[in-house]
Amino acid sequence: MESSPSFASLAHEALVDSDFDSPNSRRLFDFQNSLTCIKVTPPFRDYPKLRSPSRMGLEGKPNLKIVEGEGGYILEDVPHFTDYLPDLPNFPNPLQDNPSYSAVRQYFVNVDDTVPQKIVVQKNSPRGLHFRRAGPRQRVYFESDDVLACIVTCGGLCPGLNTVIRELVCGLSHMYGVSRILGIEGGYRGFYARNTIPLTPKFVNDIHKRGGTILGTSRGGHDTIKIVDNIEDRGVNQVYIIGGDGTQKGASVIFEEIRRRGLQVAVVGIPKTIDNDIAVIDKSFGFDSAVEEAQRAINAAHVESESVENGIGLVKLMGRYSGFIAMYATLASRDVDCCLIPESPFYLEGKGGLFEYIEKRLKENGHMVIVVAEGAGQDLIAESLRSMHNEDPSGNKLLLDVGLWLSQKIKDHFARIQKMVMNLKYIDPTYMIRAIPSNASDNVYCTLLAHSAIHGAMAGYTGFTVGLVNGRHTYIPFHRVTEKRNRVVITDRMWARLLSSTNQPSFLSAKDIEEAKKAEPQPTQLLDEQKSLEDGCH
Instruction: Output the known binding site.
Output: 156, 219-220, 244-247, 273-275, 318-320, 374, 431-434
Q: Please, what is the Cα angle at 134 between 144 and 257, to 5 degrees?
A: 65
Residue 380's contacts (CB-CB under 8 Å, 6 or more residues apart) are 347, 348
Q: Where are the beta strands (DSSP E) in 109-204?
A: 114-116, 128-133, 139-140, 149-153, 181-184, 196-198
Q: CA 505: distance to chain centroid?
A: 31
Q: 77 by DSSP, 3-state: which?
A: strand
- Other C-beta atoms closer than 10 Å to the C-beta of 425 total 18
Calpha distance 445→164 (Å, rounded): 9
Residues noted as catalytic: 275
Give the span between the Cα atoms of 292 and 275, in whole angstroms: 13
Q: Are 372 and 326 in contact (CB under 8 A)?
A: yes
* Rounded distance between C-alpha atoms, residue 495 and residue 502, angstroms: 11
Is the distance from CB of 293 to CB of 433 less than 8 angstroms? yes
Angle at which helices 324-333 and 493-502 pack, to 10 degrees? 50
483: CB partners within 8 A, 6+ apart: 279
User: Which residues are part of a known binding site for ATP?
Assistant: 156, 219-220, 244-247
Numbers of helices and strands, H then E, in the chain: 16, 18
- DSSP SS3 for 133: strand
Q: Which residues are annotated as a binding site for Mg(2+)?
A: 245
Residue 230 parent element (H or E): helix 224-234
From its phi and psi, is residue 99 left (phi > 0), alpha (psi between -120 and 50) or beta?
alpha
Question: Hey, which residues does 314 pair with through a beta bridge?
Answer: 370, 426
Residues of the binding site for substrate: 273-275, 318-320, 374, 431-434
The Cα 241–Cα 254 span in angstroms is 10
Q: Which of 334, 408, 422, 415 is nearest to 371 (CA)?
A: 334
CB distance 306 to 367 below 8 Å: yes
- Select from 259, 278, 273 the least CA-distant residue to 154: 273
- SS in 3 state form for 420-478? CCCEEEEECCHHHHHCCCCCHHHHHHHHHHHHHHHHHHHCCECCEEEEEECCEEEEEEH
Give the type of residue at 98. N
Per-position DSSP letters for 478-530, written without gaps between them: HHHHHSSB----TTSHHHHHHHHHH-------HHHHHHHHHHSPPTTHHHHHH
- What is the rounded CA–CA span in Å between residue 165 and residue 185? 12
